[in-house]
Amino acid sequence: MRPSGPVALALLALLCVPASAIRVERLPLPALAKVRGVVPAAPAFEAVAAEEAIVWFDASVSTAQRTALIAGIGGRIIQEQPAYGWVHVGLAAGSSVSDGLTALRSAPGVLRAEPNRVYAAVRAPNDPFFASQYHFNKIDAPAAWEFEVGTSCLTTIAIIDTGIEGTHPDLQAKLASLAHQECVTPGCAPDAPVAACEHGTAVAGLAAAATDNGSQVAGLSWGSQLLSMRVFDTADCNSDCGDKAGQSCATSDARIVDALAFLGNLQNTAAYGRIVANMSLGCLPGFGCAACSVPLQTVIDAALAKGIVIVAAAGNDGPGDDTMNVPASCPGVIPIGATDINDAVASFSSRGSDLANNGLSAPGDGLTSTSLGGTTKGGLRGTSFASPLVSAAAALVLSAKPTATVNGSTNEVKNILRGTADNVGGGANACGAGRLNAFRALRYTVKGTLAGFDGEAKPIAFPNPFRVSQAGLVSFAVPPSLQGSGVKIKIYALDGQLVREITGLIWDGKNIDGGLVASGTYVFQVSSSGGRGRGRLAVIR
């Protein structure tokens, strides 16, 4: 059942003033806070929203008393969250967050006061364009699709990010009934199909772009719906997610909490099914990264209790004893690191014990996905783009097994993803449990065991059909049973004529004479010391 306006607004008890663009203030980090694995030469700072705080009052303090107390220090109530027991407070104009917190913490009836911490879309500089979506072969996606493409049971991947371009031809048909929500003003409300910048659109495409439709790129979960939860203000960001003049392209605890709380109302409903929340967000560059805030952890715990899977990018702060970002390091969240085309840990990928104990990695260097203006973009780098691959894999698991648990030590979804990951080296602090293997994850979900999984999958070509005008190369995925020395692939026409023989796993669509093959169906045979296997491939010119 589709939630009505009052259901969504039930999370909001009081809205006194409109929210404005986030202004960032530097607040000294507590002495014991994590500072991205680095001992700073000068005091470290975290990024917080200027003139804002989050406050918990004793239950005996009435709304009128709260309002009067906050007004007494020159502040005002921005929003109340009675479900979680906290109040989003605007401090006196011109006052520092540090002074405001001191005043609030000493006020009668106040149990706790925290800053409203600020986050950014986790970005890294682009490499040159990569035309091939190599990550599908790395994570054995074609073999996974033999088990599940996400259509068995309804799932929704909520992208808590900069917004999804709703008119994109590879995304428009994938959007759920409440396709766009903005959580910039207090609470979440229906939004236009706009994006504050390109980041969220790229993340969405990797997770669940329309697939097998002859257009642009493919997503990992073919059947999942997408839900855009925009937590960035369109007035703050340039198209590349850089700061607009005088603004900060950033979001905050309060906005993320609103988004997760809103999803709690949709979880396991007929219109949305099981929900996976993806957060490719992290601490602002140049600032320290404190531990998970109380309001954020509270709503994460509530979402997990309702059965929502939460996946987050580990961060792009590279090597160090503990360079993990928030929200990835929050308990209950599945943190995701990044690997490259060679299955090495990406140089920029954050490390830490949270990744070792709770997370895994996925390809996140040199990816291709959807972009603004209905286009595609290559060379995407960052744990931001590894995270949606794991979110999509989680959605496939839930589609195959909608009763899978997500909370506590019996978190089946996390345990399946981690337990079936490939060990690609690099160490647990850098790579988590290993690199995602979607085939093994789905094989285990469907069969309940990995015993005898070798040889069950056939060799697969991707993309299939191969549209020469849209994709420059065909990649072949070889199942474990055929992996060995001396790999050769022979491509035949249906009349048995040999068209091409290759010794790698990439075909450019050309015949022995160097010309492009004609449209039609072709048979390919993979042989190695491990055995032989066959498949079919359609070519469209």
Are the C-beta atoms of 365 and 346 separated by less than 8 Å?
yes
Query: Side chain identity at 179, as an amino acid letter?
Result: A
- Residue 409 appears among annotated catalytic residues: no
Calculated CA dihedral for residues 498, 502, 507, 513, nearest 10 degrees: -50
| Angle, CA 483 vertex, CA 481 and CA 484 arms, to 5° | 120
| Residue 51 · residue 66 · CB < 8 Å | no
Stretch (H or E) spanning 416 = helix 412-419
Q: Pick from 142, 146, 132, 131: which is nearest to 478 by CA?
A: 142
Q: Are strands 466-467 and 531-540 parallel, antiparallel or unpaired?
A: parallel
Catalytic residue among 132, 135, 140, 161: 161
Catalytic-role residue among 350, 384, 399, 475:
384
Q: Taking CA 252 as the corner, what is the angle to CA 250 and CA 258, rounded to the nearest 5 degrees?
A: 125
In the annotation, is 168 catalytic?
A: no
Quick one: how far is CA 110 from the chain centroid? Answer: 35
Q: What is the 3-state secondary structure (H, E, C) of 266-287?
A: HCCECCCEEEEEEECEEECCCC
Query: Phi/psi zone of residue 329: left (φ > 0), alpha (ψ -120 to 50 degrees), beta?
Result: alpha
161 is catalytic: yes
The maximal CA–CA distance of the chain, rounded, in angstroms, is 87
The number of C-alpha atoms within 13 Å of 75 and in the hemisphere containing its C-beta is 28
CA-CA distance, 129 to 123, in Å (whole number)?
16
Q: From the candidates 135, 199, 253, 349, which is the catalytic residue?
A: 199
Give strand pairing partners of 335. Answer: 312
**Cα–Cα distance for residue pair 529/256, rounded to 1 Å:** 52
Q: In what order do the strands lie in the sheet with 466-467?
A: 466-467, 531-540, 520-528, 488-493, 498-502
Catalytic residue numbers, as ranges: 161, 199, 384
